[in-house]
């Protein structure tokens, strides 16, 4: 028997009728004369097949070709599709054919059905496809292999690697030969349509199984995207409620696409003029004034933030308040966090571990440095001084060696130039890294990884410290170089990697960073401590806005 691939969706448990699963446009097509509806009470526990027949059309690509080439004959496409709804084990399944999946309403489908079945059905040593997105790097990646590979070989070594789709060879005890899962489930095997009820039964059992937690696939539970649009809308509503109530769970951050600090901000939608040097949620609340009750999930999507650049030739960049929200909320016993407009569910025990690492790593200042200065022009528009100039002032004020933009180049290692740190405290044996603002998960995650990677090079490649000593000799003199040699030789004292973040305190007066950045921080702390480093995190204020 030739192998066939079937695609299955699972409805939510509260769905009672087949037509409830159709989109509005698909439901309207039920009345068309060309639509065929076939009921079969003996298929599974009752089934209905909908076949939507399209109208013959000339392909668009052919129209373009005919402008140049005399392509003759009647060449047409007829876009038709089918959906087979059936009940099995008190649940409703849908098998889709052609583009039938486009006729389904996501609000009534289990968003993680295919992925949950896949992690229980797949042999983790025989994967061929993995689609992921990393919250820390804000990158989406697709890994394909012509050969079967182990799950770990795809490079999933970060808690922020979100698995969106898996595919590969199934375990021996599974009826399918191959499985591919995301929202939908694709199974390939020696099947016919008559086998769909048994496939659904097996899939439902795998969907409910927690066997994957004893395998490498267990990482999908640490941070997982919310696949249910209805739940995401409820979370949006809860976030709007908390903002109206003045609670501190949320703040505004810059989206990934934004890469320029020299701007002011204004709000588009509330109908109030004015610009702000800082992107803060309290500024948005202030422009809403007596209209706080108008802040809803819809308002957060409609109201925009506009970035105004110093360069008059550059147009304003706009994005929604919703996309700028960073923060988390507890709902029905679960912790959910929003990033770049998308919601994620975080494992409770994992979150407690992440938060604990963050809190114990925060260190107080012996002598607190001054805040980053705000520099205003004649029109009253301001921007903060650069990290480069601030690092230079810190070096002069505290007797540190300025290594900002001083690159270590390892012989024989191509394209591997890196900064060891921004500031070097020789006496205290500190590698200090400084970052302005703590509102962007991707930027902070890169910041922590960068500091961790440079510290690892000092341990793994002894020639790295040799080059650092040479750089210190060049920028700070022979005396500083000798002190560094002596400090490094003192094995009784550990080196400390210190991360300093400059930002405005949150609404509750405390400094904080997005939960996804905390996850990256925890991972890098674990790596650094395993190599003998101490890790500390400090915050400094930004200069308050001018009144």
Strands (E), 334-479: 334-339, 342-346, 374-376, 382-384, 401-402, 407-408, 418-419, 423-425, 430-436
Residue 546 token pair: 């001018």
DSSP letter for 20, please.
G
pLDDT at 193: 96
Tokens of 501: 């973040």
Q: Which two tokens stand for residue 347?
A: 């494992």
Please count the residues of the chain. Answer: 547
**Helix, coil or strand: residue 86:** strand
Task: Identify the pLDDT of residue 2.
Answer: 77
The CA distances from residue 60 to 63, 65, 66, 69, 71, in Å, are: 5, 9, 10, 14, 13
What is the distance between the alpha carbons of residues 468 and 423, in angstroms, rounded to a whole number?
Answer: 12
CA Rg value for the chain: 29
What per-residue confidence (pLDDT) applies to 139?
A: 41
pLDDT at 544: 57
**Is the CB of residue 207 less than 8 Å from the CB of residue 113?**
yes
DSSP state of 51: E
The pLDDT, as a whole number, for residue 547 is 38
User: For the whole model, what pTM was predicted?
Assistant: 0.68
Q: What is the pLDDT of residue 310?
A: 65
- Collapse the DSSP code of 338 into the 3-class scheme (helix H, G, I; strand E, B; otherwise coil) and give the result: strand
Q: Helix count (H) and strand count (E) of the chain?
A: 14, 29
Produce one character per residue of 308-341: b if its CB has 16 or more CB atoms within 10 Å, e if not. Answer: beeeeeeeebebbbbbbbbbbbeeeeebbbbbbb
SS (H, E, C) 339-360: ECCEEEEECHHHHHHHHHHHHH
The confidence score (pLDDT) of residue 138 equals 44
> Long-range pairs for 274-279 at CB < 8 Å and ≥24 separation?
275/308, 275/381, 276/545, 277/374, 277/381, 277/382, 277/383, 277/384, 277/545, 277/546, 278/504, 278/542, 278/545, 279/252, 279/253, 279/254, 279/305, 279/324, 279/439
Q: pLDDT tens string for the chain (547 positions)?
A: 679 999 999 999 999 999 999 999 999 999 998 899 999 999 999 999 999 987 777 877 788 788 888 888 888 777 789 999 999 999 999 999 988 998 999 889 999 999 999 999 999 888 888 877 666 554 444 555 555 655 554 454 556 667 778 999 999 999 999 999 999 999 999 999 999 999 999 999 999 999 998 988 888 888 888 989 999 999 999 999 999 988 888 888 876 555 555 577 889 988 877 778 778 888 899 888 888 889 999 999 999 998 877 655 556 788 899 988 988 888 998 889 888 888 998 888 888 999 999 999 999 999 989 888 877 766 666 677 888 899 999 999 999 999 998 988 876 655 467 899 999 999 999 999 999 876 667 778 889 999 999 999 999 888 899 999 999 999 999 999 999 999 999 999 999 999 999 888 877 788 888 888 898 899 999 999 999 999 999 999 876 554 3
Euclidean distance between CA atoms 242 and 444, whole angstroms: 25
Parallel/antiparallel/unpaired status of strands 496-503 and 534-541: parallel
Q: Residue 1: its pLDDT value, please? A: 63
Per-domain residue ranges of the chain: 4-216, 229-346, 361-541
Please tell me the predicted confidence (pLDDT) of residue 256.
57
Residues in CB range of 253: below 8 A, 6 or more apart:
279, 324, 325, 326, 439, 440, 441, 514
- The angle formed by the CA atoms of residues 212, 215 and 216, to the nearest 5 degrees, is 110
Q: Residue 139, by phi and psi: left (phi above 0), alpha (psi -120 to 50) or beta?
A: beta
Mode of pairing for the β-strands spanning 342-346 and 334-339: antiparallel
């Amino acid at each position: 028997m030739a192998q066939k691939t079937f695609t299955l969706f699972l409805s939510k448990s509260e769905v009672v009728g087949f037509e409830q699963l159709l989109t509005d446009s698909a439901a309207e097509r039920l009345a068309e004369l060309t639509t065929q509806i076939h009921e079969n009470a003996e298929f599974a526990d009752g089934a209905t097949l909908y076949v939507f027949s399209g109208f013959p059309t000339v392909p668009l690509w052919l129209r373009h070709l005919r402008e140049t080439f005399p392509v003759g004959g009647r060449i047409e496409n007829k876009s038709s599709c089918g959906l087979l709804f059936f009940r099995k084990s008190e649940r409703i399944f849908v098998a889709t054919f052609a583009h039938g999946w486009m006729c389904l309403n996501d609000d009534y489908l289990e968003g993680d059905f295919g992925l949950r079945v896949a992690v229980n059905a797949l042999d983790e040593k025989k994967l061929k496809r993995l689609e992921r997105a990393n919250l820390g790097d804000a990158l989406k990646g697709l890994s394909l292999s012509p050969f079967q590979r182990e799950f770990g070989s795809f490079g999933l070594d970060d808690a922020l690697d979100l698995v969106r789709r898996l595919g590969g060879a199934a375990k021996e005890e599974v009826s399918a030969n191959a499985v591919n899962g995301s929202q939908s489930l694709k199974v390939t095997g020696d099947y016919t349509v008559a086998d769909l009820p048994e496939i659904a039964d097996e899939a439902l059992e795998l969907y409910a199984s927690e066997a994957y937690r004893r395998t490498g696939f267990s990482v999908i539970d640490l941070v997982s995207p919310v696949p249910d649009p209805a739940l995401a809308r409820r979370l949006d509503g809860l976030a709007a409620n908390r903002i109206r109530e003045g609670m501190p769970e949320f703040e505004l951050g810059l989206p990934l696409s934004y890469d320029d600090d020299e701007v002011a901000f204004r709000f588009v939608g509330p109908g109030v003029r004015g610009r702000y040097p800082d992107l803060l949620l309290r500024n948005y609340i202030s422009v809403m004034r007596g209209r706080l009750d108008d802040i809803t999930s819809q308002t957060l999507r409609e109201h925009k933030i506009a970035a105004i650049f110093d360069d008059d030739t550059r147009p304003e960049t706009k994005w929604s308040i919703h996309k700028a929200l960073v923060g988390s909320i507890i709902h029905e016993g679960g912790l959910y966090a929003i990033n770049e407009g998308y919601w994620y569910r975080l494992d409770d025990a994992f979150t407690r571990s992440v938060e604990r690492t963050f809190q114990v790593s925060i260190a107080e200042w012996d002598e607190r440095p001054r805040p980053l200065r705000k520099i205003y022009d004649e029109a009253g528009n301001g921007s903060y001084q650069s990290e480069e100039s601030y690092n230079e002032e810190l070096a002069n004020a505290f007797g540190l060696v300025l290594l900002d933009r001083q690159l270590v180049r390892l012989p024989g290692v191509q394209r591997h130039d890196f900064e060891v740190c921004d500031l070097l405290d020789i006496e205290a044996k500190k590698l200090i890294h400084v970052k302005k603002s703590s509102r962007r998960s991707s930027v902070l995650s890169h910041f922590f990884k960068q500091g961790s990677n440079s510290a690892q090079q000092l341990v793994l490649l002894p020639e790295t410290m040799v080059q650092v000593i040479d750089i210190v000799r060049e920028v700070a003199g022979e005396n500083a170089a000798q002190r560094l040699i002596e400090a490094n030789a003192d094995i009784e004292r550990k080196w400390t990697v210190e991360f300093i973040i400059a930002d405005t305190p949150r609404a509750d007066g405390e400094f904080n960073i997005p939960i996804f950045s905390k996850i990256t921080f925890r991972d890098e702390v674990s790596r650094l401590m395993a190599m003998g480093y101490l890790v500390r995190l400090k915050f400094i204020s930004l200069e308050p806005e001018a009144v």
